[in-house]
């Protein structure tokens, strides 16, 4: 049986930059997009299970993980173009796209910019669906945050946090995966290029008041694209009510809560996460881009809801 150790990171070069990615399995393409300060490794708890049924492609976005961290564009649009190019470079024209947190914003932008590439859209504790977001991410957008980040990513602080975590585990208590994953994320900011990329990425989508970009006004354009919204019921980073609001803007979508999970439901409840994702994929047909329908929607014309078409 495949394990996470059997899914190593690989490299390719795109536009002169190193892009790291993980690839596993065989079957219909399934693209996994991680969140801010994270990497493709964030998907390892579910990749072996998903690879039993799908070809799973998980890139490290630029500025994250083992990918290059150049001075450049860290907008959602640039990330969406990167994911499209990774898919194309690996030989996949279309696929089901899953985005977690910031990756949800990237996935929605990919579906908006390149709808012909996206067969289904899955948003997991997604950004870009409401204003609220955790204070820690908002603070990262403040002037001078670059000076504080090295302290949060310092080896001494992280070692102390790990020691406290081990001590708590020994007495039978469980540390939230949310804070453990956030600690791992900040540990990745221990060099100046990673910190610079993080700040540029955060400021592209967040300001001190919260998330500054919302995709809810454009979800209607994906009316014929199967959409699954999945959220942890105890998410302390992005409130679960954003998922409820998003479904109101996309009434044909499916909304699922993993009540015992936090911001990383694929870590807290991997079996349930994979089951929901598989059921969604197996019960829906991949969408086929209809340029005429999109033109009608953009002009505000009504009409019968376009049905997904198998490809």
Residue 235 appears among annotated catalytic residues = yes
> Rounded to whole angstroms, how far apart are CA atoms 277 and 230?
9
Choose, from 101, 134, 214, 224, the residue flagged as catalytic: 101
CB 124 within 8 A of CB 254: no
The per-residue pLDDT for 190 is 80
pTM of the model: 0.89
Residue tagged active-site, from 40, 81, 177, 235 = 235
- How many Å apart are CA 269 and CA 258, to the nearest integer? 8
Q: Residues 311, 228: contact at Cβ < 8 Å?
A: no
Closest CA to 123 of 242, 261, 290: 242
What does the pLDDT read at residue 222? 83
**Strand 254-258 to 227-232 pairing:** parallel
In contact, 157 and 165? CB cutoff 8 Å: no
Low-confidence ranges of the chain (pLDDT < 70): 145-176, 302-311
Q: What is the pLDDT of residue 186?
A: 77
Give the burial class of 283: count Cβ atoms within 10 A of its Cβ; 0-12 exposed, 13-18 middle, 19 or more buried: exposed
Cα 199 to chain centroid, rounded: 18
Three-class DSSP category at 201: helix
Question: What is the per-residue pLDDT for 146?
Answer: 67
Q: Sketch the domain layout of the chain as residue ranges.
A: 4-298
Instruction: Note the pLDDT of residue 164.
Output: 42
Helix (H, G, I), strand (E, B) or coil at 29: strand
**Catalytic pick among 34, 100, 242, 263:** 263
Q: Count Cα neighbours of 177 within 13 Å in the Cβ-side half-sphere.
A: 16
CATH fold group of domain 4-298:
Rossmann fold (3.40.50)
Q: Does residue 224 contact residue 111 with C-beta atoms inside 8 Å?
A: no
Q: Within its chain, how far is the Cα of 185 from the centroid? A: 14
pLDDT at 182: 79
**Helix (DSSP H) and strand (DSSP E) numbers for the chain:** 12, 10
- Quote the pLDDT of residue 123: 98
| CB proximity list for 210: less than 8 A, separation 6 or greater | 131, 132, 133, 138
- Alpha-carbon distance of 285 to 114, in angstroms, equals 18
Question: Could you read off the pLDDT of 115-144 as tens digits, one per residue?
Answer: 999 999 999 999 999 999 988 889 888 887
What is the sign of the dihedral through the CA atoms of 186, 268, 87 and 22?
A: positive
Residue 174 pLDDT: 45
In whole angstroms, give the CA distance from residue 113 to residue 172. 48
pLDDT value of position 172? 42
Q: Name the nearest CA neighbour of 182 among 161, 164, 205.
A: 161
**Among the listed residues 233, 249, 253, the one whose alpha carbon sits nearest the alpha carbon of residue 241:** 233
């Amino acid at each position: 049986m495949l394990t996470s150790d059997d899914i190593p990171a690989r490299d390719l070069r795109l536009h002169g930059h190193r892009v790291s990615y993980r690839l596993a399995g065989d079957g219909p393409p399934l693209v996994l997009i991680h969140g801010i300060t994270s990497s493709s490794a964030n998907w390892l708890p579910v990749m072996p299970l998903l690879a039993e049924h799908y070809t799973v492609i998980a890139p490290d976005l630029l500025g994250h993980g083992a990918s290059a961290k150049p001075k450049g564009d860290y907008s959602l649009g640039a990330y969406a173009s990167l994911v499209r190019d990774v898919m194309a470079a690996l030989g996949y024209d279309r696929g089901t796209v899953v985005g977690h947190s910031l990756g949800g914003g990237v996935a929605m932008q990919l579906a908006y910019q390149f709808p012909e590439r996206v067969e289904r859209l899955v948003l997991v504790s997604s950004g870009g669906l409401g204003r609220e977001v955790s204070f820690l991410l908002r603070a990262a957008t403040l002037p001078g945050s670059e000076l504080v980040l090295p302290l949060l990513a310092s080896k001494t602080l992280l070692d102390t946090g790990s020691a406290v975590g081990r001590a708590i585990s020994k007495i039978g208590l469980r540390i939230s995966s949310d804070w453990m994953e956030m600690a791992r994320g900040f540990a990745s900011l221990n060099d100046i290029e990673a910190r610079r990329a993080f700040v540029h990425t955060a400021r592209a989508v967040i300001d001190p008041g919260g998330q500054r970009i919302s995709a809810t006004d454009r979800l209607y354009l994906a009316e014929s694209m199967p959409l699954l919204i999945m959220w942890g019921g105890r998410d302390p980073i992005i409130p679960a009510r954003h998922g409820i609001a998003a479904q109101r803007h996309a009434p044909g979508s499916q909304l699922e809560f993993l009540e015992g999970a936090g911001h990383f439901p694929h870590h807290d409840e991997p079996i349930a996460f994979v089951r929901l994702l598989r059921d969604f994929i197996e019960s829906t047909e991949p969408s086929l881009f209809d340029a005429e329908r999109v033109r009608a929607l953009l002009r505000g014309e009504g009409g019968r809801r376009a049905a997904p078409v198998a490809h």
